[in-house]
Chains A and B, each alone.
Chain A
Amino acid sequence: MKPIWYFVGLLLLFIGSVVTISGLYSLISPPAQQKIFTNLHPDIWWGLFMVVAGLIFLLVNRKKTVQ
């Protein structure tokens, strides 16, 4: 079977992408209620960080199988 790290990568990639897109969307259409640090856009850079982490897990484990 695929190792668990492969699935961890897949989930981080999916969720990180959604968080990033959500952050980009809020740039285009800013929400009515602003949070502290909205100007720092933590959703964009944290989402991107998750995408990168997810890709690393996926690439490292893409060909591995475990018993």
Chain B
Amino acid sequence: MFQKGTLMATIGLSFFDWLIIIIYFAFILGLGYYLKRFTKSQEDFFIAGRKNSAWVAGIAFLSANLGALELLGMTGNTFKYGMYVAHFYWIGAIPAMLFLGIYMMPFYYSSRIHSVPGYLKLRFDERTRVLNAIAFAIMTLLVSGINLYAMALVLHTFLGWNWDVSMWISAATVAVYVTMSGLLSAIFTEIIQFFLIWFGLFLVSFLGIVEIGGIKEVFARIPHSFSTLWSTSADPTQNGMVITWAGIVFGLGFVLSFGYWTTDFLVVQRAFSAKDLRSARMTPIIASFFKMAVPFLVIMSGLVALALANDPKSGFVLLQDGGQVNYDSTLPLLIQRYYPSGLIGLGITALLAGFMAGQAGNVSAFNTVWTYDIYRSLINKNASDEHLLWMGRVATVVGIILSVGTAYWAKTFPSIMDYMQAIFSWVNAPLFATMLLGMFVVWITPAGAFWGLICGMGSSFLLFLAVKFQWFDPVALTLSSTASDMAANFWRAWWAWLICFVVTIVISLFTNKRPKEELVGLVKGLTEENITDHVPFIKSPGFYAIISIIILIILNIYYW
């Protein structure tokens, strides 16, 4: 990301650009105020009253992941690694989203929990819940602070805005509207962000394709190793990401993807807000269709930038950080290249909306996990409904303040940005093993889950340190003679998952099991499976999941 010493490429804003940004800020504050009158109970505040349709929850589910950090990072990654980045949107997302909707959501939704750690409490015990809640709260605050830091830096680098002012204004705006109406306002702003991102960034790819002369011409102008999806994956030296198909399938497609999409409370919370089980199951399935389309925005614009950079006559050059290419400058530089006044305001507002909705998503997930899984679980077991609602609002403000603190910490320690992916693999990869075993294997015990999670999280952290400080060669992790940082991330997640999986099973063989009657509704085999009996097949989640998987297969074959 942008660091001290980055060359600045200030984009001048006109009156119309400022007007669009002001309209956006006024609009979301007004929306938060409007929604406040409908937020009367803790159920309203933390899970939006469980009244959302599948479409609302589905778009919010996707948007919670579609932050500006993701847009900037993935466009830059495409410039760096090529078409392989599309794996994050296709095999690295869709199977996991469909698995969540078809197999896991019945257990999550039917148990009427407020959070993912809440499921761990019902299925295993209090200590597993608290362990995961604390890890998630720390991870969320770190990510939230890094998100805030990145936003301030982007605004400073490209617009010349004051670092502190832009960060505090954005943080205060998010604090105000989330405090007023909790998850409901977070979901509303996420949906608005979804439309702003599509309307704000679609033209970047579109005009890029027009300039180069068509999609085929874009692919023709980039190296072969950057333009394929699978055909160069047998040999890591032949593709831009320096990874084998096994790393993509097991590390990204299985562990990282399933770990994130099926257990990360930030996204799963959106499905909990759905009005009924069918809507909750449809939430990730609807999101999967939009997720498959996002590469048009990020991958295509990254490839356009790559094609332009390969042509010296285009004059397109990325910014430099102390002699290193700054890949994250790709998207802002394309906006600067193509957008006239007015559209620049729209593009900047789309990025701002992405940052702020990401912030709101993190804070709304944090306040729920803090209030239910840490505060009520450890500090005040008999808290009333009104008190929990008050605590949720306090947690929102405190969470934002802590995020700002993390952002200042990140400012003095810029390489923390590099640890984003690592943070996810510390918490989510092992948790997926725990969840998978917990939901589908009856005899997994509370002790097995707890110690498996400890070993999984600990091993992921140790492997990260081992690679970072070169205690051993990363190729020992990746099982190939050469590997990129991205490949090391994928494989570390795989090993952390495997360690958690094996330890959980082994300890469960020797420890006390919970009685089966206590696990009804929480584990497959002990739960009644008549969830879609009354719905015709063409309206069932299974039907839409099949369509989604067919599209996924077609895309992978087409870009093979």
Contacts and interface: CB of A to CB of B under 8 A. Distances in A.
B14 interface: yes
Contacts of A42: 203, 207, 338-340, 343
Nearest to A9: B195
A40 B349 CA distance: 23
Interface in A7-44: 7-8, 10-12, 14-15, 18-23, 25-26, 31, 35-38, 42-43
Given A1-B38, A11-B192, A66-B51, A19 B338 contact: no
B192 A18 contact: no
Nearest to A34: B340
Contacts of B191: 4, 8
Contacts of B554: none
Interface hub of B187, B195, B342 (most chain A Cβ within 10 A): B342
Contacts of B187: 4
Interface of B: 14, 16-17, 19-20, 23-24, 27, 31, 34-35, 38, 49, 51, 53, 56, 187-188, 191-192, 195-196, 199, 203, 207, 210-211, 337-343, 345-346, 349
Given A7-B31, A8-B191, A18-B16, A43 B341 contact: yes
Contact of B342 (A4, A14, A37, A43): A43
A36 B343 contact: no
Contacts of A31: 14, 340-341
B27 A37 contact: no
Contact of A15 (B14, B210, B337, B346): B346
Given A4-B188, A8-B192, A36-B207, A50 B27 contact: no
A38 B192 contact: no
Contacts, number: 98
Given A8-B191, A42-B207, A18 B20 contact: yes
A50 B127 CA distance: 51
Contacts of B343: 19, 22, 42-43, 46
Contacts of B17: 22
Nearest to B194: A8
A47 B342 contact: yes
A35 B340 contact: yes
28 contacts: A4-B187, A4-B192, A7-B31, A11-B192, A11-B195, A11-B196, A12-B195, A12-B199, A15-B346, A18-B16, A18-B20, A18-B345, A19-B16, A19-B20, A19-B346, A23-B340, A35-B338, A36-B207, A37-B211, A42-B203, A42-B338, A42-B339, A42-B343, A47-B342, A50-B199, A53-B199, A66-B51, A67-B51
A37 B20 contact: no
A23 to B, nearest CB: 6
Contacts of A22: 14, 16-17, 340-343, 345
Contacts of B188: 4, 7
Contact of A36 (B14, B31, B195, B211): B211
B23 A18 contact: yes
A67 B56 CA distance: 13
A18 to B, nearest CB: 5
A23 B31 contact: no
Contacts of A38: 340
B274 to A, nearest CB: 13
A35 B203 contact: no
B195 A37 contact: no
Q: Which 8 A-B pairs have the closest CB atoms?
A: A22-B342, A22-B16, A19-B342, A43-B342, A43-B343, A67-B51, A35-B340, A4-B191
A15 B192 contact: no
Contacts of B49: 67
A4 B337 contact: no
A46 to B, nearest CB: 6
